[in-house]
Amino acid sequence: MKIVCVALLFIFLLMGCSQKNTPLTVSNNKLNVVATTSIVADLVSVIGDTAITVSSLMGAGVDPHLYKASSGDLTLLREADVIFYNGLHLEGKMIDVFQKLSNSKSVTPIAKESLQGLRKISENFYDPHIWFSVPLWKQAALTVKNQLTQSSPNHKAYFEKNYSNYLHSLDSLDQWIRRTIATISNEKRILVTAHDAFAYFGAEYGVRIHSLQGISTMAEFGINDIISLVNTIDSANIPAIFVESSVPPKSIEAVINALKTRKKTIKLGGILFSDALGEKNSIAGTYIGMVRTNVSTIVNALQ
Ligand SMILES: [Zn+2]
């Protein structure tokens, strides 16, 4: 009996040890992951880190609403083990491509209708720009962690650790945004941009938002949109307006020129990163750096 107990104890100890040894290091078999935008790619590479390789189809300054997959992209997508995209029609011209590929591999949108706190735009459409609410981005991080774990179960503990570390970084970012935006007086907390990418940001952090174009840059803007925005700026006495890195500046320039004809001048507050990160090795080349850069630009212009 004693021998049996000792043997059982030994087996339990072994099991305990082997569970503790679930790798926090990674094997050489790296998942080949392809993401659409640089913002999605950043999230995936933080959680997957050295267990995966990530390529992103769209780099700095590229507008995902208008983006069409090139033949090189299609090759990358075909060779990928796992594909992540934003979803909610952000990549409006790639929907067929995702549909076809999803027959043969995991193709995962990180912005899904099941997320808590989505903004409905119409019957069947939601605002896809979820990354400007940190609480929404944390939900997207969970989707990425779960999908990577499903695709590479050996790295479960590793993905879990990266995910929980990142949640702490995102919480710090969230707190920093709230503190920093609070330094702008309430009547100046108005953000005017080229297209409607900042509604989640506005709702989460208490900033009123106006834009020339709607949710997608696919929709053209007309003279009436310019007049309406000019009237808003005129009546609210807004100190600055902003261009976006992934939208041609001509739209915001049209607003500035229209204000000039009313003998009003308005400061250009700077360039905001809306639908793409900055260049790879710049501060705005990561999600957290991009959000911090935007918030600093906004605060400097509106304070
Ligand atoms: Zn957009």
Q: Torsions phi, psi of 190, nearest 5?
A: -130, 125
**Mean pLDDT calculated for residue range 77-90:** 97
CA of 126 from ligand 1 middle (Å) equals 12
CA of 61 from ligand 1 middle (Å) equals 12
CA of 33 from ligand 1 middle (Å) equals 23
Q: What is the pLDDT of residues 113-171, one digit of tens each?
A: 999 999 999 998 999 999 999 999 999 999 999 999 999 999 999 999 999 999 999 99
Confidence check: pLDDT of 12 > 50: no
CA of 179 from ligand 1 middle (Å) equals 26
* DSSP alpha helix (H) spans, 21-54: 38-48
Neighbours of 156 (CB within 10 A): 15
Please choose, from the candidates 43, 22, 150, the residue with its C-alpha nearest in 3D space to the C-alpha of residue 86: 43
**In one letter, which amino acid is 270?**
G
Q: What is the pLDDT of residues 155-167, one digit of tens each?
A: 999 999 999 999 9
Q: Percent of the chain scored above 70 by pLDDT?
A: 91
The torsion of the CA quartet 192, 197, 202, 207, rounded to 10 degrees, works out to -10
CA of 195 from ligand 1 middle (Å) equals 7
Please choose, from the candidates 45, 111, 117, the residue with its C-alpha nearest in 3D space to the C-alpha of residue 82: 45
Complete domains list, the chain, with CATH: 31-178 (3.40.50.1980), 184-302 (3.40.50.1980)
Structure tokens, 207: 């900033």
Q: What is the pLDDT of residues 256-269, one digit of tens each?
A: 999 999 998 899 99
Residue 13 CA neighbour count, 13 Å, CB half: 6
How many whole angstroms separate alpha carbon 178 and alpha carbon 106? 36
CA of 219 from ligand 1 middle (Å) equals 11
CA of 215 from ligand 1 middle (Å) equals 6
CA of 2 from ligand 1 middle (Å) equals 69
Confidence check: pLDDT of 9 > 70: no
Q: Helix or strand or coil: residue 37?
A: coil
CA of 67 from ligand 1 middle (Å) equals 11
Q: What pLDDT score does 33 carry? A: 98
CA of 191 from ligand 1 middle (Å) equals 15
Q: What pLDDT score does 218 carry? A: 84
CA separation (Å) from 183 to 25, 96, 137, 291?
Answer: 43, 45, 24, 17
pLDDT, greater one: 212 or 29: 212
Q: What pLDDT score does 154 carry? A: 94
Please choose, from the candidates 234, 240, 243, the residue with its C-alpha nearest in 3D space to the C-alpha of residue 194: 243
- Which DSSP string do the residues of 57-116 spell out, in sequence order? S--TT--TTT----HHHHHHHHH-SEEEE--TTTTTT-HHHHHHHTTTSEEEESS-TTST
The length of the chain, given as a count of residues: 303
Mean pLDDT, the chain, rounded, equals 91
CA of 63 from ligand 1 middle (Å) equals 7
CA of 46 from ligand 1 middle (Å) equals 23
CA of 111 from ligand 1 middle (Å) equals 13
Q: How confident is the model at residue 24 (pLDDT cuts 50, 70, 90)?
A: low
CA of 244 from ligand 1 middle (Å) equals 10
Confidence check: pLDDT of 112 > 50: yes
CA of 129 from ligand 1 middle (Å) equals 6
CA of 158 from ligand 1 middle (Å) equals 32
Q: What is the pLDDT of residues 227-263, one digit of tens each?
A: 999 999 988 878 899 999 999 999 899 999 999 999 9
Q: pTM of the prediction?
A: 0.89
CA of 218 from ligand 1 middle (Å) equals 9
How many whole angstroms separate alpha carbon 67 and alpha carbon 247? 12
**Mean pLDDT calculated for residue range 89-99:** 97
Q: What pLDDT score does 265 carry? A: 87
CA of 217 from ligand 1 middle (Å) equals 7
CA of 196 from ligand 1 middle (Å) equals 7
Q: Is 112 exposed, middle or buried (0-12, 13-18, 19+ CB in 10 A)?
A: middle
How many whole angstroms separate alpha carbon 244 and alpha carbon 255? 14
Enumerate the β-bridge partners of residue 208: 190
**Mean pLDDT calculated for residue range 25-47:** 91
Q: What is the pLDDT of residues 158-193, one digit of tens each?
A: 999 999 999 999 999 999 999 999 999 999 999 999
CA of 258 from ligand 1 middle (Å) equals 24
Q: What pLDDT score does 10 carry? A: 47
Q: Helix or strand or coil: residue 193?
A: strand
CA of 28 from ligand 1 middle (Å) equals 37
Confidence check: pLDDT of 43 > 60: yes
Structure tokens, 51: 């267990």
